Amino acid sequence: MPSKPRLGVVIKRTVPIRLYPLTKYFKNLEKVDALRDVFGDQTEDVLKRTMVEFYSSRWGYMGVNDEDGHILISAHHMKHSPLRTLYLDIIHELFHIRQRMDGRKLFLDEFGYFDSPIEIEAYEFTIKEARRIGMSDREIAEYLEVPWADKKDLAKFIKRLKLKV
């Protein structure tokens, strides 16, 4: 059995995370009917309790931390993405918060991203909101494009979501 190397350094592996209230950066979400449909009478409370963490990276968008349920957001995404994209992304992530509140596991290792029932359900919800704000199916399909997505998988996903492009 090989011996462990002696590094001579101590590394603290638990690091502080700076969290901010969601409502500091996303105002008036409590007025969004889609979120009221999801959270009902708990809408204001859920939004007040939801925290966001911004991280420094040119890659990535938004996601929910599976340990404590706060939302992770790329600072680059916040600064450079269209407002409509940020709006739909936060709607999508808040739907994941609802799924998590219902005791559902957000990351299902047995499925690829575009095959995950969790993601399909969240995107169906997001697409409904995208249509409500006036987006065409083509615009929604463009919204779904991400640099890391395999084009064939994305095309199947778009078809599964019944987008007419």
With respect to residue 15, please indicate whether it lies within any of the assigned structural domains: no
CA distance 157 to 55: 28
Within a domain: residue 7? no
Domain, as residue range, for 134: 20-160
Classify residue 36: in a domain, yes or no: yes
pLDDT for 117 equals: 96
Beta carbons within 8 Å of 159's beta carbon, 6+ residues apart: none
pTM above 0.75, yes or no: yes
pLDDT tens string, the chain, 165 residues long: the values are 666 678 889 888 877 778 999 999 999 999 999 999 999 999 999 999 999 999 988 778 999 998 999 999 999 999 999 999 999 999 999 999 999 999 999 999 999 899 999 999 999 999 999 999 999 999 999 999 988 888 999 999 999 999 998
**Cα–Cα distance, 117 to 105 (Å, whole number):** 11
User: Is there a domain that residue 92 lies in?
Assistant: yes
Residue 1 has what pLDDT?
62
**Count of domains for the chain:** 1
